[in-house]
Structures are given as C-alpha cells and as structure tokens.
Amino acid sequence: MEMKFDGEFNINQPRDKVFEILRDPEKFAPLLPTFHSMEMKDSNRANLKVKVGIGSIIATATTELILEEALAPSRIRYTGQGKVMQGAYQMSSTFELDEIDGETRVRWQGRTVLAGKLLSIAGGGLRSYAEKEINRVITSLQAALAPGAQTAEIRVPEENWFMRLLHFLTGTHKQEATDSQASPATAADTTMTYAPHPADTLQSRKDSIHKINRILDAGCNAMKPGRKEDKRLVTGQGLYVDDYLPAGALHMVLVRSPYAHARILDIDVSRAESLPGVICTITGKEIAEHTTPFTQIGPEPSARIQDFCLAVNKVRYQGDPVVAVIAESRHIATDAAQLVEVNYDILPAVVSCEDAQTDTTVIHEEAGTNRTWQGVYEYGDVDQAFAGAAHIVRIDHLKFHRFSSTALECNAVVATWDRRDQIDFFCNTIMTVPIAMIAPALDVRTDQIRLRTHDIGGAFGNKIGNYPYMTLAAFASRKAGGAPVKWVETRSEYMQAGGHGGERNYYDTEVALDKDGVITAIRSRHVDDCGAYPRYEPLGCVIWSQVLPAAYKLRNVRIDFSQVVTNKGPCAPNRGYSRLPHMWFMERVIDICGHELGIPADEIRLRNYIRDFPYTTPNGCVYDSGDFVAMLNRARDIIGWDDWKQKQQQARTEGRIIGIGIGTTLDSGTNNFAQSQIINPFLPFSSNSVVSTVKLDLDGSISASVSTFPQGQGHETTTAQVIAEELGVDTDMVHVKTGFDSERNSHSGTCGTYASQFAVTGLSAVHGAVVKLRNEMKKLAAYALEANENDLEFGMGEQGPEVRVIGTGRGVNYWALANMVNYNKASLPEELREISLNVRHTYVPPFEAPDVEKKYGNLTLTYAMQLHIAAVEVDPQTFKTRILDYVIVDDCGKVINPMIVEGQVHGGTAHGLGAALLEIMPFDKDGNVLAGSFTDYAPITINNMPDLKCSNMQTPSPFTYNGAKGMGEGGGAPLHAISAALQDALYDQGVIIQHSHNSPMALHDFIREGRQRPVTTESR
Amino acid sequence: MNMSESTQLVPITVSVNGKTCQRQVEPRLLLVEFIRETLGLTGTHIGCDTSFCGACTVIVDGDAVKSCTMLAVQADGSEILTVEGLERDGVLHPLQQAFSSNHGLQCGYCTPGMLMSSLALLADNPNPTRKDIRKQLAGNICRCTGYQNIIKSIEAAASAMQED
Ligand code: FES
Ligand code: FES
C-alpha cells in the first residue's frame, strides 16, 4: 500500500534559517509531534522512536531516519524505514525552499509505502491520520521558527498535546502551572488581570482583589484523578437544562393556583396576550380539548381520575398550574403571567390524611372517593400469634412526614415539537417511563419523541414528576409554531408543586412478642397521602412490601394498606421511596417494644435480627446476603456504645438529656416491575431491564452508552471501570456517553436511574456488552494473527491496547481490528463479515411473576444494608437536638468504586438527618404551603451536618455477576437512628417518639404540653 | 406591574474573568442572569429564589457574592471572577482538582458556587480549620455529598497549596 502527500506552507523567516533546521536531523526530528526519543548514528543518520496513534491507540514505531540530500539553501530529502504493527514501512520526504519577500515558502512531498498483512488490512484509516500528523509538523515548525522562539534549542515543548496525552495515559498528569511553556497568545487569553477601577480607591477592595489574584495563581502538588465526569463539572462546563437555549427558543411561565381547592370560574388572558413579546397563552380548557388525560397506574376507582398537564375546571393544590404563558423572554412571560386574571370559587381543602379518608369533600369527582387504593397484606397466622403472645404492645398512631430531597436543580425542560412532527425533549427526567406517559397524552407515537438528558443537578426520584410539564412545554411549542419552548421551574414553584416524598400514617398498630422479646406478629393499618394527583402512585402501596419484615424475623404480619389523595402538591418517589417510611415504622416498633419491655435497644434487635441468608421473607422476597449482627457489633464498637450508656447516666444527674439510638435498614434494589400487578392486575409489566452498547469505534477507541439517567452517581466512571477491567486497558481509554438520548442510547421501557439498581442492572448490561465485544475481537484477532482464540489475551502492548498471542509478542491492536471491520470488509472471510464490533446487551434480572392474589413473590433482587448509631443531646431549654456522635456501617456487597459508594452513603445520611431534624413540608388547615421557599424549608447545611464515622462491610450478593448490590437510595437509617436516640433520651420523661420529624418545636410540644400516652403494653 | 414596556436600558462595564464586557441591561436584571444569559457563562448556577443556596456564588471585587442578590447594574465597574476563570492554561486550579480528587462533588450543580466560596475563604485564610470551612460555606447548599467530602476537598486544596 502506497500513500503520497504534498503541499506547501509559508514561514515568516529567511530561507537560511529554515534550511538550517530542516537539514539537521537533531533539530528536525524533535519537531515531529510524535517524537519520542532519538539516537544519532552520524550527522546524517538517526534512530528515531516515534509514537503513532489515533485517539487513545498509541503504538511505538522505530524508524531509521537518513538525510539523503541537503542542497543549501533550497532542497532537503529524508528517507526512513521502520516497523510498526507487525509490518514494515518506508517513507521519504522532500522539502523545497524558496525565499519570497523575506519569507520562506516550503513545498514538500512525502511518500509512504506500507507492507505486511496487518497493515494492509488495517491501513484504511492511515491516510487521514498521516495528514493530520503532517499538519502538526508544519505547525510545530512554524512555532519553532516564530520570531522570539529559541531556534538554537529546539525541543518538544513539555506540555504539547502528546505529552499531555502521555501523562494522561500513564496517570502522571502534572499539576504544575505551565506558564513558562504556554504560547504568548494563550497566556494573554486566560490571564486574569484585576486592574483597579479608576474611580475606586478603596484599599480594602484592592486587597481583596489582590488576595484572590494571588491564590488564583497558586500551583499545587499532584493529586489523584477523580471521576470521569468531574473535569467538566468543576470547570463550569456541565450542561444542565437551564444552560441550554437553542436558537429561537421561547420561554414558558406558569400561572399557578393560590388556593388548595377551588373551582375555576373564568380566566381572562387578554391583557397578558396583548403584552408585546407574548406569543400565546394556554389554558386548561384547551388542554382538555387537545390532549388525553395521563394514564393512571391505579385500578378503579382511581383509574377514573382525569389528570391533565394544566388544571381543568378545578384546582386541587396550591400551585396547581392554571395558565401557561409563552413569550420571547422569561421576563416578558413573567410580567404577562401577572396580567392573567383567574376567578375562583374556593372549596373546602382536604389537608389531613384523616379528613381525606372520610370523603366528606371529594377531590376527584370522577373517582367519587379520595381513597385511591386499598389492600390487605397478610402472611402467616396473625391472630394465632396474638393469642399466644406473652406481651402485646399497642401504638395508637405513628406518622412519617412529607419532605423532599430537593435536588439543587429544579425540574426543567426545553421542548421542541417541530413542523416535521418530531418532539425533542432536552430535560432532566430520570427514566424512560415519561415517554410512555407523554406519547398517549399528546397522541403521538413513541418514536416521534426524542428524550435527552445531559448533566442533571440531582433528582433523588423527584424528577419523575417532570412529565406533565414536559407535556405542556411540547404542547406550547406546537402552538408557538414549532419553536423550542423552555421552562425552568423556580425553587418556590418546586416547594409548592414539585414531587415531594409522601406522608404515611400508621394507625392502631399491635405487636405480639414472646416472653424473650422476640416479635411474633404485627397487625396495623397504614395510609399514604400522595397529594392531589397519584401520578407515579399508587405504586408506593406495594413498594414498601419489598422490605415487609425489615431486618427482623417475624413471620406473621397483617397490614391493611391504603392511599388517599389530599389538596397538597402531588408526591413523587423520594430517595428511599415507600420502603423508607416502612422501615422507619418497623424501627419505631422494635424500639418502642424494647423500651416498654425494658430490653436495651441493641439487645432487642439482636434477638430479632434475621441471621441466615439468603432469607425468604413472609411475602416471598429474598434477602440475598448480609450480617446484621456483625454490623451492629462493629457500629457499637466504633461509637463506644457502653461508654455512651455510662455518659448518659452521668449526664442525667447533671440535668442533661442524652440518648443513643440504632437504625437498621435495608436498601432494596432492582425492581421486579411485576409488583405493580399487586396494585393493578391489569398492568402489563414485569421484571426490569437495562441496555448497554459498547463498541470499538472506527478509530479503535472504545465507546459505550448505558440506558440510565445519571444525576451525580458517577455512571461514566464505573462503566469505564467495568469495561477497562474486562479489556485490560486504562479507564481513560473508555469513553462513556454523557446522559441519555433515546436516539443514541439503546433502551427499553423501564430504563432509568431509580430504585438503587445501577451497580446491578447498569453494570451487568455493560459487562454483558463488553464480554460480547471481547468475543468478536477475539474472533477477528485469531484470524489476523493466524492463531487459536484460546491462545489469545487482552492487554496493553507496544502498539497500544491489543489482542495478542500469549507469550509471543505477536499482537494486533484495536485500531487494526476496527479497521478490518469498518473499512476493509473484503479482507475478511465470509464468516467474520457479520461482526460489527458494536454490540448491545440487555440485562434482565432473574424474576418471576408474583402471586398477585396472595401478594407473594420476589419483588427486588438485592438488599444493601445500613446500620447507623446516633448519640444526641436535647437542650432542655430550646429543645434543639444536637448530634454528638454518628456512626455508619454499610454493606452493599462487593464495592465497585469505594469513593462513589461512600459519597452515596454520605449523601443519603444528609437527607435522612435533614429530614429527621430540619426538613418538613408543612401546610395550614387551608392547604397553604408553609415552606414556600428554601429559606423556610431550610435544607440541611454544612453547619448542621455532623462529621460521620463510616465503615464498610462486604457480603457479596449471590444474585449478581459482580457481587454488588444497588445502594444509592440508602434506607433512611438516620431517620430511624435519630428517632431511636430521641426515644432513648426522652423515654423516662414519658415521651414516645411518634413522628419521623422532630424539630425543637415538635419536641417542645411533646415534652411540655404532654399528651395522652399513645402506647399501652399488656403482658400476660 | 408591566415593566418591560417602559424599561430603559442601562449601560454597564464589568470585567469578567479578565475580559472587559460592555452591555446595555435592564435595571431589573440580576447579576446571575447577566452572567448566565447575557454573557453565556452558564457555569454559575441558580438553585433558589431567596438567596439561600449559594449555587450562584461568584467573586465580585475580591469577595464571594451570591450573584442572585445583586443587580447587574450594581456590578458596574466591578471585576468579577466566575468558575470559568479558575482554570489556567488548561490546568485545573488546586481547588478544582481537590474537589475532583476527594469526590467533593456528585451532580456538580452546587460545585461552582462551592469553589468560589472556598476560593474566597482560602484567599483570606490559607489554612482554615473545619470550623472556618463550615462557617464560610454555611450559605452554600449541597444536596448530594452530605458535605463530608467538600470539607475534605477544601482541606486537601489548602494543604496542597501550602506544600507547593
Ligand atoms: S441562586 Fe443565588 S443563592 Fe440560590
Ligand atoms: S454535588 Fe449535587 S448539589 Fe452538590
């Protein structure tokens, strides 16, 4: 194979000078961007080592470079020959120099001949590569000869592209500032100069500016590399929805209801529409005419609920969107929204769960009741167990409060419904389910919808609730003639309307225990309050049963579970969705029983923990692996349990109130969607799947996509880890697509980032795909190397990442393999022509359909476990709770990336502590939102977050290929542990911790006002 | 209520990351909107509407400022540094590198604000205690990390810069 190149370029230097450099191999060779090292044989000959490669595929080639001709001052010719990729090449290059107006014109010609089987089947991509390299030589020559450059001492600049790549590849990325090497142009662009403003003479201002400037220039020593995602995020180059503004985009602002429950009498948009810059408005009437109500997940009667993307006839919560205003700018839309007039007839608001159950006021007339779902979960022989109980503990009422993990980025979407009838959503939703919700509502095919995400500023489940807004924005785009419509929720809107975690009430709980304090049975009635529209609900009415007995071995359970709607913002899954409130309940139960029976909190748990794994729960779920006892022992050791017990006694004598409490919890991951049939037997859902594609790209680099919607969980990093490990390459060589794109990421209907599943579903999909890719690569390599597949191995070689014959040094690199498949099919035998090196794998967890009648079956695949212990002190004056010490032991099976796992543990703990002590979404009796802003809601800050002592245990899951378990949600252990610690602190004052939220005010009311003891214990 | 019809634009000149920018702005334009929308520097984020979250923190004349608390017209004549101005010649600032190395970010939405607040802290106090760090960042909300690794990152940056 022969390649010829030629061209010309100018250098702003006299010809002599240019000749001088080109004729000296010692000066010329280092200008090659691929230059690695050289050894001069004599003044005209050198042995040269160059690195050649495309993308991340780098091979070393050895060349003998000979200066054949040097006719001063106008002609120079080099020849060279060498070996690369098990083949040989010869090259020659000629330079002709002319002087024109004091500049030198360089005309050049090059010729390369490649020989060898590998080169001829893989060589297709070489030409463009070679051209690029030639351009680099020219640039580097021009730079070397630029005025001011030290031509006498030409060397490869330290920080050229190649050295950076090399550092990158070898992990020796340097942190030193490179100002000495930077070209003057770059330095000028980026240097920050703080010339004081002439009018400003304040010394302090100058000082501050000076201090900032000084620290900006600070260098530092090397630090270990972080995640793949980090570079863009720490440099402000993340792309969140609000950062995206396509040309011609319009802005949507919503007029929301000031009332929790009211009939819409009339709407006047005329003044708003006449404001210059306003494109159109949309009301519920129009939406009802042109769209279909969203699919309801629940059975009758909740299936009859008519839920549209704008309120129709009635508003059902404070913040219910009534009118959309679309304008050229956000400011104009905001102004216009204030000109919309809506008249309401106010209706009584249904705020409490108790009121909702009476149906005195019905929120959705179509359904005829506020009770959207009801079912009894009964296992074992409950009444028999109660008949034989040694103790029965009765708890009137417990309550899990409404709060939200409030991702820092609110819901947002840019929707474009163009004239070709394609709908593009650039948004921050977190799963593919919205496609299935939106398409029927807008009466389009799912393939007309393109769903894209890029960076997402946290979601924690909440952003599943984005789809009504996405639908509305798409509708607005169509009405506005196909222009993109951007909607970005404000924080205040989110506080009113965005998906919050639901509230749960536990009534009339009875617990049967044997004489040793082992719980034998529980019967109870639980009611969820899901807000005004069920949306993703009533799935929460079954999801809790993934952890039905929590960490405990009781076999007899009867829970009457139901859900109601109220005039509050619609809920959405929130980190720990539905399982967390149930585990908080179970932890309250065991803790209250311990206190009532005088059994220490650790002891009663030890008597009740499940000990043998895999463990089948009374409702057929299988806890895969774990060791609660070891976790408790470790946590007790770290915090110094016995010491704290002593300190507590001592403190009491000083009038201080100290308590120590345990929270044991489970984080069930990887849903079996068949559980939805327990809610509604007509739902055609079962199991779960996640899809990944991995390919050896055209240039031999590795790229991958996964059908997930990461929001900070580091999927790019862990995906690259799995692939790199399987192929024996560095993670830097693996390029993982950022975010989700339905036109790019192969996917199924249930793909997404939710329910603690990525380490299992996502990584299993990636692993399956890379194994398939490996097999294809092996087949090709076996052919190219004329070897047996079994004799091949993967690894890094001189030629970059390669497949080689074990123990021979004979290998074929990725570039060559990619070339064979992509450019040189005729070189392949018939049986290898199907190979694409672009493979797809769908991971499907091994689930079966549950018994819907009996509500029995395996609902999730893995169970990560966490055990927290908190030591707290309650101020007897202010009732403020202070955390004195906090220990976490977590076990999520085999850990793929310890840094990321620990980060998730920290984050989940912050959400739990925030919820336990600070964060609540309260409403007044009229349904007014009382935490309408971040300032009122007060999410946990760095100031009220204690230092955490974390420890990790690993009991690998037997059900996953890698032994990993999903763990991102955490099981809300801080809520359990804080409630337990407060219980421990306050039990002797007659306080029973009944609520999951314990603000100073709530504790004050408990302690000062006193109330009827909600617990009775009967011992027989 | 209708402001947009009668709006008079006001000329302002600010230096942002070393570049002088002259623009005509609406008087009601927030500094954060000016930075994000007028200048297209979207690294500065918005996380709330009550000046609580700190995602919008930038450096104005050497001090960390929540850019949603300030009008663009008030910044006339100021020198502003945003997260985009931290990197030097393609090399991360030690704080940026430390946040990455110590997993001080997850979703990254709070990160630009965290970096700018931390920069102001280290400019004043090269060797901060944990208490100093907590005090400085009390107005920066992160919903992902539980703050543990943010503290660690700032400590790491401080010590790396000392050793240099
Ligand atoms: S956006 Fe400025 S403080 Fe939240
Ligand atoms: S990293 Fe997500 S808010 Fe801080």
What residues contact A253, with CB distance under 8 A and at least 6 apart? A324, A325, A327, A330, A333, A334, A336, A337, A487
Q: Is A712 in the pocket of ligand 2 (CB under 6 A)?
A: yes
Identify the pLDDT of residue A157: 33
Identify the pLDDT of residue A129: 59
Q: How far is CA A17 from CA A42, A43, A154, in A?
A: 22, 18, 13
Dump pLDDT digits (tens) for A520-564: 999 999 999 999 999 999 999 999 999 999 999 999 999 999 999
- Split at pLDDT 50, 70, 90, the class of A155 is very low
Identify the pLDDT of residue A147: 54
The verdict on a CB contact (< 8 Å) between B103 and A907 is no
Q: Choose the weakest-confidence range: A33-47, A364-378, A767-781, A850-864.
A: A33-47
Distance A941 CA to ligand 1 centre (A): 14
The verdict on a CB contact (< 8 Å) between B161 and A460 is no
Cβ atoms < 10 Å from Cβ of A920: 23
Structure tokens at A892: 């999520």
Distance B32 CA to ligand 1 centre (A): 9
Identify the pLDDT of residue A120: 54
Would you state the torsion angle of the CA atoms of residues A991, A995, A996, A997, taken in this order, to the nearest 10 degrees? -90
**From start to end of A769-893, where are the E strands?**
792-797, 800-805, 811-813, 838-843, 860-874, 881-891
Q: Identify the helix (H) or strand (E) that includes residue A368.
A: none
pLDDT greater at residue A601 or residue A5:
A601
Chain position carrying tokens 């109870």: A524
Instruction: Tell whether the model's pLDDT for residue A464 goes beyond 60.
Output: yes
Q: Choose the weakest-confidence range: A59-73, A688-702, A885-899, A900-914.
A: A59-73
Instruction: Tell whether the model's pLDDT for residue A582 goes beyond 70.
Output: yes
Identify the pLDDT of residue A188: 30
**What is the DSSP track for B62-73?**
TEEEETTSSBGG
Q: What are phi and psi of A493, to 5 degrees?
A: -60, -45
- Split at pLDDT 50, 70, 90, the class of A401 is very high
Instruction: Tell whether the model's pLDDT for residue A342 goes beyond 90.
Output: yes
CATH of domain B3-85: 3.10.20.30
**If you ran DSSP here, which 8-state letter would residue A759 be given?**
I
Closest ligand 1 atom, residue B139 Cα: 3
pLDDT greater at residue A20 or residue B154:
B154
Instruction: Tell whether the model's pLDDT for residue A174 goes beyond 60.
Output: no
Is ipTM over 0.85?
A: yes
Instruction: Tell whether the model's pLDDT for residue A690 goes beyond 70.
Output: yes
Which of A226, A237, A240 minimises the CB distance to B103? A226
Distance A463 CA to ligand 1 centre (A): 20
Identify the pLDDT of residue A948: 98
Q: Which of A620, A612, A617 is nearest to A848 (CA)?
A: A620
The verdict on a CB contact (< 8 Å) between A226 and B53 is no
What's the rounded Cα separation, in Å, for the pair A793 and A802? Answer: 8
- Per domain, the residue ranges of chain B are 3-85, 94-163
What are the residue ranges of helices labelled H in A665-762? 676-679, 715-727
What's the rounded Cα separation, in Å, for the pair A834 and B44? Answer: 48
What are the residue ranges of helices labelled H in A952-1014? 973-986, 1000-1004
Chain position carrying tokens 């297709």: A124
Mutate to test the interface with A, among B61, B66, B114 (most CBs of A within 10 A): B61
Mutation test of ligand 2: which of A229, A408, A491 has the most ligand atoms closer than 8 Å to its C-beta?
A408
Name A522's bridge partners. A511, A557
Low-confidence ranges of chain B (pLDDT < 50): 1-5
Across chain A, mean pLDDT equals 90
What's the rounded Cα separation, in Å, for the pair A873 and A904? Answer: 26
**If you ran DSSP here, which 8-state letter would residue A75 be given?**
E
Helix axes A601-608, A628-639, angle to 10 degrees: 160
Reduced to 3 states (helix: H, G, I; strand: E, B; else coil), residue A451 is strand
Instruction: Tell whether the model's pLDDT for residue A834 goes beyond 90.
Output: yes
Mutate to test the interface with B, among A201, A210, A212, A237 (most CBs of B within 10 A): A212
Q: Choose the weakest-confidence range: A27-41, A268-282, A776-790.
A: A27-41
What's the rounded Cα separation, in Å, for the pair A882 and A870? Answer: 10
Spell A892-908 as b/e; 16+ CB within 10 A means b.
Answer: bbebbbebbbbbbbbbb
- Split at pLDDT 50, 70, 90, the class of A449 is very high
Our measurement of the distance from residue A561's CA atom to the centroid of its chain's CA atoms, rounded to an integer in Å, reads: 32
Reduced to 3 states (helix: H, G, I; strand: E, B; else coil), residue B12 is strand
Identify the pLDDT of residue A463: 96
Task: Give the mean pLDDT of A45-59.
Answer: 68
Is it true that the peptide bond before A939 is cis, omega within 30 degrees of 0? no
Identify the pLDDT of residue A333: 98
Q: How are the residues of chain A apportioned to helix, strand and coil, as percentages rounded to the nearest 5?
A: 35, 30, 40
Which of A229, A335, A902 minimises the CB distance to B3? A335
Q: How far is CA A227 from CA A232, A705, B42, in A?
A: 10, 17, 21
Our measurement of the distance from residue A548's CA atom to the centroid of its chain's CA atoms, rounded to an integer in Å, reads: 27
Instruction: Tell whether the model's pLDDT for residue A156 goes beyond 80.
Output: no
What's the rounded Cα separation, in Å, for the pair A824 and A828? Answer: 7
Identify the pLDDT of residue A758: 94
What residues contact A963, with CB distance under 8 A and at least 6 apart? A893, A894, A954, A956, A957
Q: How far is B23 from chain A (nearest CA, A)?
A: 17
Reduced to 3 states (helix: H, G, I; strand: E, B; else coil), residue A665 is strand
Chain position carrying tokens 């002088």: B20
- Split at pLDDT 50, 70, 90, the class of A130 is low
Q: What are phi and psi of B31, to 5 degrees?
A: -60, -40
Instruction: Tell whether the model's pLDDT for residue A414 goes beyond 50.
Output: yes
CA dihedral (A421, A427, A431, A436) positive or negative: negative
- Split at pLDDT 50, 70, 90, the class of A193 is very low
What are the residue ranges of helices labelled H in A72-125? 117-122
The answer to whether A658 touches A989, Cβ cutoff 8 Å, is: no
Q: Is A458 in the pocket of ligand 2 (CB under 6 A)?
A: yes
Q: How far is A12 from chain B (nearest CA, A)?
A: 26
The verdict on a CB contact (< 8 Å) between A409 and B105 is no
Percentage with pLDDT > 70 across chain A: 90
Instruction: Tell whether the model's pLDDT for residue A179 goes beyond 60.
Output: no
Q: Which residues line ligand 1 (CB under 6 A)?
A: B 46-48, 51-56, 66, 68
Dump pLDDT digits (tens) for A60-98: 677 888 888 888 888 888 888 877 666 677 778 888 888
Name A860's bridge partners. A671
**What is the DSSP track for A889-918?**
EEE-BS-S-HHHHHHHHHHHHHHHHHHHHT
Identify the pLDDT of residue A117: 60
Dump pLDDT digits (tens) for A855-882: 999 999 999 999 999 999 999 999 999 9
Mutate to test the interface with A, among B1, B3, B4, B118 (most CBs of A within 10 A): B4
Q: How are the residues of chain B apportioned to helix, strand and coil, as percentages rounded to the nearest 5?
A: 40, 20, 45
Instruction: Tell whether the model's pLDDT for residue A484 goes beyond 80.
Output: yes
Phi/psi-derived region of residue B90, left when phi > 0, alpha when psi is between -120 and 50, beta in every other case = left
CATH of domain B94-163: 1.10.150.120
Q: Which of A551, A487, A497 is nearest to A519 (CA)?
A: A551
Distance B46 CA to ligand 1 centre (A): 5
Identify the pLDDT of residue A106: 84
Dump pLDDT digits (tens) for A607-638: 999 999 999 999 999 999 999 999 999 999 99
What residues contact A681, with CB distance under 8 A and at least 6 apart? A299, A852
The verdict on a CB contact (< 8 Å) between A231 and B156 is no
Strands across the sheet with A556-564, in order?
A371-379, A556-564, A519-529, A503-513, A391-400, A1015-1019
- Split at pLDDT 50, 70, 90, the class of A5 is confident
Task: Give the mean pLDDT of A1007-1018.
Answer: 85
What's the rounded Cα separation, in Å, for the pair A981 and A986? Answer: 9
